[in-house]
Amino acid sequence: MLQTAFPNAARRLSLLCAATAALTAGPASADGNFIDHRLSRNTGGIYAAQDAVPVALALASAGCALWEGTQDPLGRTCWESGESIAIGGVSAEALQYITGRRSPSDTTDPGHWFSGAKGSFPSLHVTATTAAVTPFILQYVKDDPWVASLALLPAYEMVARVKAQEHWQTDVLAGALLGFGVGAYEYQRNSPFVFYLLPGGAFAGFSRKF
């Protein structure tokens, strides 16, 4: 299934990311950068939920994993999603400290890297959101194409984080790629690392105890 689901999902996500970047990109800057551009700040209305989305996905994945256990496809996918969020989040945080890129709220120069402080590259929100939905898309999109609509959540985060002046366009693109890579790797393994920490390598799930 990976041979068919992975290329299709990767293609759709790539097109969605490109379209999202195009919608939020502005004119070329003085240094010739055609992607990164600071937009007018807007965190109200539809953009007000940007912090809640990755948190809600993380809680949903954790709750589903504990409820379903590890012995069926849905349960395994929930564990893959949760672990992808954790790995992607840690990776994004580490890269933000390493790259030290100044965010649009601090500067109009998208080329201000290695400031010595935590930066904006890549977007943690976008990384976590993309990592959360990727295992579900790859697992179920072949049988239920509507599952691909979950990719709208990372797209929303991409736009919202740029509108909040927390990230540049390349920050959110990098976050989407990182999240997708981690989520796809977890799906391909089909055995999250946390399984090795469980007694007997399995967890029955609370649904089987009630």
Q: Indicate whether 37 belongs to any domain.
A: no
The CA–CA distances, whole Å, from 89 to 35, 51, 92, 144, 178 equal 24, 14, 5, 28, 10
Residue type, 15: L
Q: Indicate whether 44 belongs to any domain.
A: no
- Domain that residue 64 falls in: 2-21+49-200
Whole-prediction pTM value? 0.84
Q: Indicate whether 41 belongs to any domain.
A: no
Q: Indicate whether 66 belongs to any domain.
A: yes
Q: Indicate whether 205 belongs to any domain.
A: no
Q: Indicate whether 78 belongs to any domain.
A: yes
Q: What is the pLDDT of residues 110-157, one digit of tens each?
A: 999 999 999 999 999 999 999 999 999 999 999 999 999 999 999 999
> How many domains is the chain built from?
1
- Taking a C-beta distance cutoff of 8 angstroms, is the pair 112, 101 a contact? yes
Pick the closest to residue 79 from 206, 195, 184 (CA basis).
195
Q: What is the pLDDT of residues 2-57, one digit of tens each?
A: 445 556 655 556 566 555 555 555 554 444 456 898 999 999 999 999 999 999 99
Q: Indicate whether 30 belongs to any domain.
A: no
